[in-house]
């Protein structure tokens, strides 16, 4: 039992941190530009594929730096020559633009890298166990992923709270026009934030690719969950996104781990559900992949502004 | 000038006329994009590869085979759309395999179409949708299955487990739809009959092609104290499951239906040796020299292994049946196919008349290193460790088939 709890916690935290890396960029872009970037998960996918292709020439570590930089630059270009022009036509046009962009990227990826998963794997020495607990190995790579995620979180926090650029970004979040009047180049700031957000997504792709398979469907599977994170955390709140990511990661893994049915849970709460009925016998493990969406519905009903959000969605 | 134009015109018309009369088109309706694409893509390449051989040797009853790929994204609704498209294009043979949920929709659609359009019947050549119902209570004259169904495979697997006294606790993990449920049910029932001492220490169903991270399931398996895992997972679900187990250094035998499917060996490699077992008509020793040549040629041309042996068998049977019937008309071919027996590199197979379920020997194989013919460009492949004969695999059917009476 103890081993199950420990490993589920480790898995949940790992998954949660990956989600956070992905959603932090999205929530940053949203709070600053008011744009819900539907193509965000596509940039995550591009990160994985870029790292796979670059990695064949440079090895894993240089690709870890280069792929996010490339995707970041691509994101900046998209903002400069796409979003900025569409911006004049309002939010709906922006939404439609990113929506279309997601499709374009998906198709391009299939044309370039094929419809089948590519063999993108972590270097072999990182497959060795970092530690072995109760006969289960925990690979070095998983440790590295956790480390990178935490470093990224600290770096992001430092950037936003302690640097001049961070101050400008925070100011532009709420008082964009004022920042502009003070002589700062707000459109360039937007471009930078959009590119930076895409680079974060790509970084998640570089380390998520070997963990969860690099294939053209990877954007479509994680995309909806990232939006759940942003809504549950509260639109535009980085801290909220952090808690929501961990919550979803842990919820999903522990639901798989627990051997109980719906009837067990509800009856423990005092309800009277037939343990052999159609609904009662559904096991929690079967529900696990649904948990983010159940959470989304509950949050929207009972706390529409999310865990830490200040804005009404 | 005018003369030349006229002659060009008439020759093109004539050529077009002969080309269409000489081609038998088979629509493959399976996932060609998305998470399960590896399964569909490898299947269509295998079909094309073998069709080329058949066409070079005179085709089927003199006609050439052409394979038409149609992407259904493992979705039943999408399948019906694609089926209609195939029918509208005049295609009379459809083949499908990925997902019994999809197969079920297709079976209903084919039955309905054939009842309403006499003279334009379509045959459903089922290569891998293995829900036992299709050749039992739901059996149909228009459906032929070229793969052993869930119960037959479980019958073979449990016969082998009977001799393995070291297996005492079994964990079942399967996809949450008709096929996965059928695997779990068959395992529970047959283990109880053949090895009542075996305890099933855990059972999980996860959604089809949705899970990216199998580590929570693997931790659960690990802590359950199981000493073997049985799974019917296929496509991405088997690849990611065994990959997660390998990452965690889980030292248990995985008894699988589809362990040799494209992608598994690349993802698992060394960590799967002596751990991944499969029950199938195919294994990776290539002790038949002809099959070995095919493997080498196919890997060179397509980049896939000769995994879909039964697809070759399927086209061979189609050819034999068409030659025997002296026609490529689906109804005549269907009658000729009943009871047909052919040789395959891994034994004689027969299409049983009663239920249109192919009767075939099955093999248990396990992943080994340093094989003569490696899978997916590695040195690993599945080595045969046991053969279950055709008679042993065979199961009775409850099918009472209604046949068209105009033949």
pLDDT 10s digits, B195-249 = 999 999 988 888 888 787 888 888 889 888 899 999 999 888 898 898 888 888 8
pTM of the model: 0.82
Give the pLDDT of residue B93: 95
Nearest to A215 among B35, B205, B222 (CB): B35
Residue of A nearest to B241 (CA): A212
Q: Which residues pair with B70 in a beta bridge?
A: B29
pLDDT score, position B192: 93
For residue A217, name the pLDDT band (cuts at 50, 70, 90).
confident
Q: How confident is the model at residue A92 (pLDDT cuts 50, 70, 90)?
A: confident
Partner residue facing A117 (CB), from B204, B247, B263: B263
Does the beta carbon of A144 lie under 8 angstroms from any beta carbon of chain B?
A: no
Whether residues B102 and B72 share a domain: the answer is: yes
Strand, helix or coil for residue A292: helix
Please tell me which of the candidates A110, A116, A136 has its beta carbon nearest to residue B222: A136
Q: Check whether residue B52 and residue B103 sit in a common domain.
A: yes
**Shortest CB distance from A137 goes to which of B211, B248, B263?**
B248
User: Is the residue at B404 inside a domain?
Assistant: no
Q: Summarize the confidence of residues B165-174 as an average pLDDT.
A: 93
Residue B360 predicted with pLDDT over 60? yes
Taking only the tens place, the pLDDT of each residue in B324-353 is 999 999 999 999 999 999 999 988 999 999
- Position B144 in a domain: yes
pLDDT value at residue B188: 93
Question: How confident is the prediction for chain A on average, in pLDDT?
Answer: 86
Closest-CA residue of chain B to A2: B223
Tell me the average pLDDT across A276-281.
72
pLDDT of amino acid A184: 86
Q: Sort out which chain B residues have CB atoms less than 8 A from A252's CB and list them.
A: 216
pLDDT at residue A59 in the model:
85
Q: Which of A45-49, A106-110, B144-148 has the lowest mean pLDDT?
A: A106-110
CA distance A25 to chain B (A): 22
> Looking at the domain assignment, is residue B400 inside a domain?
no
Nearest to B34 among A137, A217, A222 (CB): A217
For residue B104, tell me if it sits in a domain: yes
Between A135 and A244, the higher pLDDT residue: A244
Q: Which residue has the higher pLDDT, A274 or B330?
A: B330
Question: Is position B199 within any domain?
Answer: yes
Task: Give the residue from chain B lying closest to A9, CA to CA.
Answer: B216
A80, A103, A305, A97: which is closest to A193 by C-alpha? A80
Q: What is the pLDDT of residues B264-306, one digit of tens each?
A: 888 787 888 899 999 999 998 898 888 999 999 999 998 889 9
Domains in chain B, number: 2
pLDDT at residue B106, as a whole number: 95
| Strand boundaries in chain A, DSSP class E | 129-133, 136-139
Residue B134 buriedness (CB in 10 A; 0-12 / 13-18 / 19+): buried
CATH code for the domain in which residue B328 is found:
3.40.50.2300
The DSSP line for A1-54 is: -HHHHHHHHHHHHHHHHHHHHHHHHHHHHHHHH----TTHHHHHHHHHHHHHHH
Residue B73: DSSP 8-state: T
Residue % of chain B over a pLDDT of 90 = 62
- Residue A92 contacts B where some CB pair is shorter than 8 Å: no
**200-219 in A: which are within 8 Å (CB) of B?**
211-213, 215-218
Question: For residue B4, what pLDDT is reported?
Answer: 55
Residue B323 pLDDT: 92
Does B183 lie in the same domain as B267?
A: yes
Mean pLDDT of chain B: 88
Alpha carbon of A271: minimum distance to chain B alpha carbons (Å): 25
* A107 contacts chain B (CB < 8 A): no
The pLDDT of residue A178 is above 60: yes
Assess whether B26 and B109 both reside in one domain.
yes
A123 contact B CB<8A:
no
**What are the beta bridge partners of residue A214?**
A118
Cross-chain CB nearest to A253 (options B41, B216, B267): B216
Answer whether residue A155 shows pLDDT above 80: yes
Identify whether residues B209 and B261 lie together within a single domain.
yes
Reported as a single tens digit per residue, the pLDDT across A224-270 is: 889 899 889 887 788 889 999 999 999 888 888 877 777 787 777 77
- Residues of chain A contacting B225 with CB distance shorter than 8 Å: none
B71 CA to chain A: closest CA distance, Å? 12
Q: What one-character DSSP code corresponds to residue A126?
A: G
**Residue in chain A nearest B177 by alpha carbon:** A286
Cα B58 to Cα B56: distance, rounded to the nearest angstrom: 6
Kindly determine whether residue B262 and residue A116, on different chains, have CB atoms separated by under 8 Å.
yes
Residues B3-62 pLDDT 10s: 555 555 544 444 444 444 489 999 999 998 877 888 898 999 999 999 999 999 989 999
> How close B129 gets to chain A, by Cα (Å)?
21
Please indicate, yes or no, whether residues B309 and B263 belong to a single structural domain of this protein.
Answer: no
B231 and B133 in a common domain: no
The three-class DSSP label of residue A233 is: helix
Residues spanned by the domain of B51: 2-149+291-359
Q: What angle do CA A41, A47, A50 make, to 5 degrees?
A: 140
> What is the H or E stretch that residue A113 is in?
helix A91-113
Same domain as B89, residue B69: yes
**Where residue B128 falls among pLDDT bands split at 50, 70, 90?**
very high
Q: Who has greater pLDDT, A271 or B27?
A: B27
Percent of chain B with pLDDT over 70: 94
**Fold topology of A2-302:** ABC transporter involved in vitamin B12 uptake, BtuC (1.10.3470)
Using a CB-CB cut-off of 8 Å, the residues of chain A touching B32 are 115
pLDDT for the residue B6: 53
- Among A256, A259, A283, select the one facing B216 at the smallest CB separation: A256
Residues B349, B228 share a domain? no
Confidence of residue A313 (pLDDT cuts 50, 70, 90): very low
Residues of A in Cβ contact (< 8 Å) with B223 = 1, 3-4, 7, 134
CA atoms of A282 and A22, how far apart (whole Å): 31
Q: Is the pLDDT of residue A94 over 80?
A: yes
Per-residue pLDDT at B5: 54
pLDDT of A306 over the 50 cut:
yes
> B127 and B92 in one domain?
yes
Residues B188 and B261 in one domain: yes
Among candidate residues B301, B244, B284, the one with its CA nearest the CA of residue B365: B284
One domain, residues B143 and B158: no
Which tokens go with B67? 């394979």
The total of other beta-carbon atoms located within 10 Å of residue B266's CB is 18
Contact yes or no for B205 and A286 at CB 8 A? yes
Q: Is the pLDDT of residue B260 over 50?
A: yes
pLDDT at A91 over 50: yes
Question: Has residue B107 got a pLDDT over 90?
Answer: yes
Per-residue pLDDT at B196:
92
- Which residue of chain B comes nearest to A18, CA vs CA? B213
């Amino acid at each position: 039992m103890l081993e199950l709890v420990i490993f589920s916690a480790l898995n949940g935290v790992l998954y949660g941190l990956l989600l956070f890396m992905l959603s932090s960029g999205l929530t940053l872009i949203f709070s600053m530009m008011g744009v819900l970037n539907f193509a965000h998960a596509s940039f995550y996918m591009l990160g994985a594929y870029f790292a796979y292709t670059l990695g064949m020439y440079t090895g894993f570590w240089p690709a870890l730096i280069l792929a996010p930089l490339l995707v970041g630059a691509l994101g900046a270009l998209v903002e400069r020559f796409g979003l900025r022009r569409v911006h004049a036509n309002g939010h709906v046009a922006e939404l439609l633009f990113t929506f279309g962009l997601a499709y374009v990227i998906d198709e391009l990826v299939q044309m370039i890298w094929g419809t089948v998963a590519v063999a993108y794997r972590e270097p072999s020495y990182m497959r060795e166990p970092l530690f072995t607990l109760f006969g289960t190995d925990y690979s070095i790579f998983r440790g590295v992923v956790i480390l990178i995620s935490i470093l990224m979180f600290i770096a992001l926090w430092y950037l936003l709270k302690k640097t001049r650029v961070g101050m400008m970004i925070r100011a532009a979040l709420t008082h964009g026009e004022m920042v502009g009047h003070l002589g700062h180049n707000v459109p360039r700031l937007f471009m930078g934030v959009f590119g930076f957000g895409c680079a974060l997504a790509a970084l998640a792709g570089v380390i998520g690719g070997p963990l969860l398979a690099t294939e053209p469907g990877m954007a479509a599977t994680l995309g909806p969950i990232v939006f759940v994170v942003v809504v549950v955390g509260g639109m535009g709140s980085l801290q909220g996104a952090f808690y929501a990511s961990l919550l979803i990661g842990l919820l999903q893994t522990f639901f798989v781990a627990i051997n109980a049915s719906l009837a067990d849970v509800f009856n423990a709460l005092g309800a009277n559900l037939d343990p052999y009925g159609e609904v009662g016998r559904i096991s929690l493990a079967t529900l696990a992949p649904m948990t983010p969406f159940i959470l989304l519905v509950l949050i929207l009903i009972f706390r529409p502004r999310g865990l830490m959000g200040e804005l009404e969605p | 000038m005018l003369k030349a134009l006229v002659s060009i015109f008439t020759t093109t018309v004539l050529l077009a006329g002969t080309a269409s009369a000489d081609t038998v088109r088979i629509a493959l309706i399976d996932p060609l994009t998305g998470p399960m694409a590896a399964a569909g893509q490898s299947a269509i390449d295998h079909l094309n590869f073998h069709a080329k051989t058949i066409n070079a040797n005179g085709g089927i009853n003199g006609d050439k085979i052409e394979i038409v790929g149609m992407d259904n994204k493992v979705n039943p609704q999408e399948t019906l759309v694609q089926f209609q498209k195939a029918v509208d294009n005049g295609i009379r043979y459809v083949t499908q395999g990925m997902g019994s949920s999809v197969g079920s929709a297709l079976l209903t659609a084919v039955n309905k179409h054939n009842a309403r359009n006499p003279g334009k019947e379509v045959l459903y050549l089922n290569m891998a949708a293995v829900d036992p119902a299709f050749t039992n209570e739901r059996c149909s004259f228009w459906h032929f299955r070229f793969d052993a169904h869930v119960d037959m495979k479980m019958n073979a697997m449990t016969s082998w487990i009977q001799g393995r006294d070291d297996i005492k606790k079994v964990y079942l993990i399967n996809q949450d739809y008709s096929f996965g449920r059928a695997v779990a049910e068959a395992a529970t029932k047959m283990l109880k009959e053949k090895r009542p001492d075996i305890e099933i220490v855990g059972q999980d169903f996860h959604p089809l092609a949705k899970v990216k991270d199998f580590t929570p399931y693997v931790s659960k398996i690990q802590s359950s104290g199981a000493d073997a895992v049985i799974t019917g997972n296929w496509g991405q679900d088997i690849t990611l499951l065994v990959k997660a187990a390998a990452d965690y250094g889980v030292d248990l035998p995985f008894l699988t239906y589809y362990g040799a499917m494209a992608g598994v060996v690349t993802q698992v490699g060394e960590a799967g040796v002596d751990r991944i077992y499969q029950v199938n008509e195919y294994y990776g020793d290539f002790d038949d020299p002809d099959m070995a040549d095919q493997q080498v040629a196919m890997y060179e041309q397509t980049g896939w292994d000769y995994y879909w042996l039964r697809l070759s068998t399927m086209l061979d049977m189609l050819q034999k049946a068409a030659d025997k019937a002296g026609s490529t008309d689906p109804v005549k071919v269907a009658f000729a196919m009943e009871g047909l027996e052919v040789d395959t590199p891994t034994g004689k197979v027969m299409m049983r008349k009663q239920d249109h379920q192919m009767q075939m020997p099955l093999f248990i194989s396990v992943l080994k290193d340093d094989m003569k013919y490696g899978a997916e460009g590695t040195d690993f492949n599945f080595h045969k460790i046991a053969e279950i004969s055709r008679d042993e695999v065979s199961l009775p059917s409850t099918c009472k088939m209604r046949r068209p009476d105009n033949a």
